Structure 1
Amino acid sequence: MTETKTRNSINLKGSAQLVKEFFHFGLNSILYQRALYPADSFKREKKYGLTLLVTHDKKLLAFLEPLLQQVEYWLAKKKLKRLVMVISEVKTKEVVERWQFDIHTENVEEEGENAHRQKDEKKIRQEICDVLRQITASVSFLPCLEEPVSFDVLIYTGKDTEAPEDWTESGACLINNSETVQLRSFSTSVHSMNKRMKVLSTLKPLI
């Protein structure tokens, strides 16, 4: 049996697993840092040399776990183009934050599903660590969410991609008059990711 990952190389399946793992910790970090759920509904977990917060809320887990399984499946099928977490005010439905993760998949069809690309997994995990550090640090410059908010996750895939029956189509949930903050990127050598966090502008026009 071909190994999914070796120390200095990675294949499509192994890359999908690593990116899914990033989204697991990344989405949880955003939810915790932006206080969308009570702090006591998160538990500490050591990963990438960091202490990260992950939810143990049953309803939230029931949403996130199948979502991330589907994300991993589409990553392995080279279908996933973008994942976006949208934060909206409950009362007005106005989008106040849009965390956008753009995904590029290398053309590995000619190499076969189990072909390995060369990149040290330790280096990949360090790059993921750097992104998660930035998400944690974002609290220092993001505006406070003063109104009750909710979140949703938008998935962009290739054409003719079959989605689960309980998923629905959505608009882009864009933000007008927004400020954009560019976060670090990381690459597994199979999947590369550019991350863009788009935040509703708090600047007021001069009178």
Structure 2
Amino acid sequence: MGYAANSILHLNGVYPEETFERVKKHEHRLFLSKNVGVKLYLSEFNEKISEWLESGRLHKIELLIMTKATNEVLQSWNFSIETHGEIAENILREKSDKEIMNEIGGVLRHISATFTFLPPLNEPCKYIALLFQEIKGHA
């Protein structure tokens, strides 16, 4: 999720170009923020994602891009999470590096392709990342 969030922030110009560095991770070229605040926020967010995934509670992740002036939501990036029974039963299946690289590449390609359809953000923006959990027994 950290790679996806960095890509979205970079492509939208939420932070200046010079605050990102180009790196190679999992055989993909990425832009990662050098901003200490962004790095800390996304690191803590990824820790919470891991915690919720391990408990089988994570249902959806949402990244909102909003105007700084009015908090109007300009973009909402939704990532649906599907967990399988083996996670809830604490029987974890390790994915191969190749599977992980393919999944990361797929998400990043989807994000990049989506930007060809989005209007440019012409005002200062900020972001917030949200986690949603599935509440069992409720409709």
Same fold (TM over 0.5): yes
Q: Of 105, 119, 135, which residue of structure 1 is paired with 2:111? A: 135
**Aligned match of 2:84 in 106, 111, 114?**
106
SS in 1 for 2:81: strand
Return the offset for 1:139: 2.8
Residue 151 of structure 1: aligned partner = 127
User: CA shift at 1:159, angstroms?
Assistant: 3.6
Distance 2:131 2:108 in 1: 20
Q: Select the residue among 49, 53, 57 that pairs with 2:27.
A: 49
What's the offset of the Cα at 1:150? 1.0
- CA change 1:120–1:65 in 2 (3 A) is closer
Equivalent residue number for residue 73 of structure 2: 95
Alignment TM-score, normalising by the size of structure 1: 0.60
Whether the aligned pair in 1 keeps the contact of 2:26 and 2:101 (CA below 8 Å) is: yes
Q: For the residues of structure 1 that align with 2:111 and 2:68, how far apart are their CA atoms?
A: 23
Q: 1:28 to 1:115 in 2, by over 3 A?
A: closer
- Give, in whole Å, the separation in 2 of the partners of 1:109 and 1:49: 27
Query: Which of 75, 78, 98 is residue 53 of structure 2 equivalent to?
Result: 75
Q: Distance in 2 between matches of 1:116 and 1:41?
A: 37
Conservation of the 8 A alpha-carbon contact between 2:56 and 2:87: no
The answer to whether 1:85 aligns with 2:43 is no
- How far, CA to CA, are the matches of 1:40 and 1:139 in structure 2? 20
TM superposition score normalised by structure 2: 0.86
Q: 1:59 and 2:34 equivalent? A: no
The aligned length equals 136
Code of the residue aligned with 1:95 in structure 2: it is V
Find the residue that maps to 1:66 and give its secondary structure.
helix
The letter of the residue matching 1:55 is: S
Following superposition, the deviation at residue 39 of structure 1 comes to 1.0
- For 1:25, what is the secondary structure of its paired residue? helix
Q: Report the CA distance between 1:74 and its aligned residue.
A: 0.8
The one-letter code matched in structure 1 to 2:130 is L
Indicate the structure with greater helix content.
Answer: 2
Q: What residue number does 2:16 align with?
A: 38
Give 1:116's aligned residue. Answer: 93
SS of the aligned residue for 1:45 comes to strand
Task: Structure 1: give runs of 5+ residues left out of the alignment.
Answer: 1-22, 161-207
Report which of the two structures shows the higher radius of gyration computed on alpha carbons.
1
**Cα distance in 2, alignment partners of residues 124 and 59 from structure 1:** 27
Q: Measure how far apart 1:134 and its partner are.
A: 2.3
